[in-house]
Amino acid sequence: MRALIVLLAIVVPCQFAVVAQDVSRRAYEGPIIDMHLHAAHAGENGPPGSKLCPGSAADMRYDPREPWPETLGRIMTQAACARPVEAASTDAENRDETIAALARHKGRGVLSGERESLRDWMQAAPKGTFIPAQYLSLSAMARHSPDAIADAFDRGEIAVLSEVTIQYDGVFADDPRFEPYWAMAEAKDLPVGIDVGVGPPGSPMVFPDFRIQNPRHLEAVLARHPKLRVYAMHAGWPYVEDLKAMLYAWPQLMVDTGVLQAALTRKEYYRFLEEIVDAGFGDRIMFGSDQMNWPGLIDEGVAAINEAPFLTYAQKKAILHDNAARFLRLSETAP
């Protein structure tokens, strides 16, 4: 009997280790919710048909004798990696391939853009594919007042205020000019997604007023509006310590993964994501592809989550679907 007990002590833990390993390697196969999609034109973010190498954003060599937009355009047409993500060549291709990518993952997504583009994309997709969102920059604030956005929400034309890109004009979340929008969003229980972090490489050379936004700029906003539903897009990379402090202090704050799966090296993306998960905030992370002109970013982003060696199956499922469903107050869990 003693020998049997010893044998069980050796074998059973090994069996449990195998099970745990299998769970972490198991891919979540949908449905997904993508919190970060754009109804973009094919040439809106670089030349149509351009190529994007995931992880290359931090390794773009640049000589200031050439204007940065020209350098960026050349880099995007002469991809230096073996398997670049290719951009759509036409507006219709961008729309239709995005719809097809979501269908592959049994997904739906929060789609931002101008109303005309939103209507076009939503009419072309199966009902329920897209959750319409109001894009808002500093210049767009002149066309879309808080009252106008509230009215659009009441009419069911939009369900989210996203993506808020005021940092491209040097305006942070706690700027008084944006306060009426926060007050309206809290009063209407309208979810808000706002860019936080560093933006694309070379942003100040394309948008001279662009300034990097720290997640802490949301602190005063949440203090004034504790019932506000808000998510920090791009998860505020690289400010992981400030982000953890904000997530700890403000349990209603969420993040999306945004463009990180494409802009960062996979090692850095995993390091950043794992630190948030290890701190206990795995239920606050929502998947976002930031698909603008590259429909393949959706597949790339889902694969990055599924291949993360530190995530359990339950955590992959939460990031790819359940956290967003809870935040948007849809059905709380996927089958």
- The answer to whether residues 53 and 77 touch, using CB atoms and an 8 Å cutoff, is no
- The answer to whether residues 54 and 262 touch, using CB atoms and an 8 Å cutoff, is yes
For 20, list phi and psi in degrees, rounded to 5.
-60, -40
CA distances from 91 to 12, 48, 76, 158 (A): 57, 9, 18, 22
Cβ contacts of residue 11 below 8 Å, gap of 6+?
none
Task: Please report, for the chain, how many H helices and E strands are present, in that order.
Answer: 14, 10
Q: What rounded mean pLDDT belongs to the chain?
A: 89
The whole-angstrom distance between residue 10's C-alpha and the CA centroid of its chain comes to 44
**pLDDT score at 333:** 53
**pLDDT score at 7:** 37
CB atoms near residue 284 (< 10 Å): 25
Question: Could you give the domains of the chain?
Answer: 31-327 (3.20.20.140)
Give the Cα-Cα-Cα angle 299, 61, 55 (nearest 5 degrees).
20
**pLDDT score at 1:** 42
- Residues of the chain scoring pLDDT < 50: 1-23
**pLDDT score at 30:** 83
Q: Are strands 192-195 and 230-233 parallel, antiparallel or unpaired?
A: parallel
**pLDDT score at 51:** 84
**pLDDT score at 59:** 64
Concatenate the DSSP letters of all residues of 72-137 into one string.
HHHHHHS--SSSPEEPPSSHHHHHHHHHHHHHHTT-EEEEEE-HHHHHHHHHHS-TTSEEEEEEE-
The whole-angstrom distance between residue 116's C-alpha and the CA centroid of its chain comes to 23
**pLDDT score at 4:** 38
**pLDDT score at 83:** 85
pTM of the model: 0.89
* Tens digits of residue pLDDT in 156-194: 999 999 999 999 999 999 999 999 999 999 999 999 999
